[in-house]
Structure 1
Amino acid sequence: MSGAQQRDLWTAVDEYAFSHSHPTSRPNTKALQHAAEASKEAGLPNIAASSSQAKFLAITIRALGVTHALEIGTLGASTAIWLASENPQLHVTSIEYDPGNAEVARKNVEFAGLSDRVEIIVGAGIDVIRELKQEVLDGKRPRFGFFFIDADKENNWNYFDVAADIATKRGLIVVDNVVRQGRVADASNTDARIIGSRQVIENAGKDARVDSVVLQTVGDKGHDGWLWAVVN
């Protein structure tokens, strides 16, 4: 089977399974479709988590009873809408570097009726998360029970390092796109994004604050994977 045939198969399975596990009669369907269409019309890149992946994150949050989540990399807010719409108890803080993306995201969140529970902060991710850390330590913000890191891959470890310091006990940290079609296993690859992926995998594995695992994924986004870590 060729690479193209494999991807077509992965996509077909995603489309089949998702159509049954999340039928269009679900209340958040209209908001999610609007976010996808508005983001495409605004020229945002098609790099958001897939619907299946985003729902998996959302139902994980539900199972754990998380009340505060931090997302690094808002894009068009599709993942934030998934998390908040599936979890009425959840407040999502999302960091976006690009003001244009943030404007699209805010409109999508408003359309979804979630502006009271999805906060979008514009700025360089590493600067903003450090500011949030200080607010947590000062008692101005609660600790976060869930983190979704999906931004500049070169800073994967820097984001993770701060996240582990401001997480609740047994909080979850998820870093997206760390497998990168398997290239993460090629030690000779000097792409900065792949180096960033190797760094977070290797450092998390040695970090006494967490216990971590890397899961490969296939689907309509191709072959990739994410790092999951639970805070001890």
Structure 2
Amino acid sequence: MSYARLDGRTAIVSGAGQGIGLAIAGALREAGAHVVALDREAEGIDAFAAGGNATALTGDITDATLPERIAARLGALGRDVDILCNNAGVARGSHALGTSDEDLARFLDINVMGHFRLSRWAVARMMPRGGGAIVNTASIFGMIGAQNSCGYSISKSAVVGMTRQMATDFGPNGIRVNAVAPGLIETPLTAERIRSEAWRRQVMIDGAPLRRVGSAQEVAKAVRFLASDEASFITGEILAVDGGWAVGRFPRESAIDAPV
């Protein structure tokens, strides 16, 4: 089966310089969208844009003027936003006693306010045009408690709430708002921790029904689906991409033998 095409559409992807964001940008471009790749570091998005049908835009999602800069670039391209993928974020952290007010404010500023500001801007652009799609990158840790992730889990829980709230408000305008909730995904930022932390492998790999780590491309395919017309009757949903970890609290020791 072939997936739905996105030809003629313009997609904005934040945090597109590496990891999951880069994979999302690539999946949307492969489907035919023109991708505006946004990141605070130029190297990754410049290399991506060199591959064609893409525009690199360096910027920080905590910058309140960023929507104006994006609008100016879109105007120069003769385009407007059809798809927004809020992916940029910051992870890790500590438990509540190890989380200062400043730590929490940083998580909220990047993971929540940055997404909210771009989403508010995008829906205002999408409404006169009859609709659009927003896909947020939440986290399975925003749905299930996880150790030493206080600020991160709080912020990703807020992304879940924002996704459902905006889906409710803007559905009548033809705007769909969904999110993916990745589990343990191997990226340049997580690869070393996956290799070196035995407890992480035991809890999040051995403790998941599929018994493996996920890839950025697997998350990107889920985002592509939610952004496409294949998901035209789906909004306000949080799609877990976690190998079943969230529901597999008591996974089997081994696979069930096939019947003979």
TM-score (normalised: structure 1): 0.52
1:66 to 1:178, Cα distance in 2 relative to 1, 3 A: farther
The answer to whether residue 133 in structure 2 is matched with residue 172 in structure 1 is yes
CA contact (8 A) 2:39 2:45 kept: no
1:198 to 1:81, Cα distance in 2 relative to 1, 3 A: same
The answer to whether residue 76 in structure 2 is matched with residue 117 in structure 1 is no
* Aligned equivalent of 1:45: none
* Aligned equivalent of 2:43: 103
The answer to whether residue 68 in structure 2 is matched with residue 130 in structure 1 is yes
Q: Which moved more, 1:146-155 or 1:198-207?
A: 198-207
* Aligned equivalent of 1:41: none
Q: Residue 79 of structure 1: CA displacement?
A: 2.1
Which structure has the larger Rg?
2
State the one-letter code of the partner of 1:144.
V
Task: Give the Cα–Cα distance (whole angstroms) in 1 for the partners of residues 140 and 165 of structure 2.
Answer: 13
The answer to whether residue 16 in structure 2 is matched with residue 74 in structure 1 is yes
Q: Residue 183 of structure 1: CA displacement?
A: 3.6
Structure 2: unaligned runs, 5 residues or longer: 90-110, 177-234, 248-260
Q: Residue 220 of structure 1: CA displacement?
A: 4.7
TM-score (normalised: structure 2): 0.47
Structure 1: unaligned runs, 5 residues or longer: 1-20, 23-58, 225-232
* Aligned equivalent of 2:120: 161
| Residues 119-166 of structure 1, C-alpha deviations (whole Å, 9 max, x = no match) | 111111253223223565x67642122221112321222221111122
- The aligned length equals 152
* Aligned equivalent of 1:217: 240
State the one-letter code of the partner of 2:58.
V
Task: Give the Cα–Cα distance (whole angstroms) in 2 for the partners of residues 203 and 197 of structure 1.
Answer: 10
Give the one of 142, 148, 157 matched to 1:194: 157
Q: Which moved more, 1:194-203 or 1:165-174?
A: 194-203
**Aligned ranges 1:135-146 → 2 under 5 Å:** 141-146=78-83
1:193 to 1:109, Cα distance in 2 relative to 1, 3 A: same
1:199 to 1:69, Cα distance in 2 relative to 1, 3 A: closer
Which one has the bigger strand percentage? 1
State the one-letter code of the partner of 2:236.
V
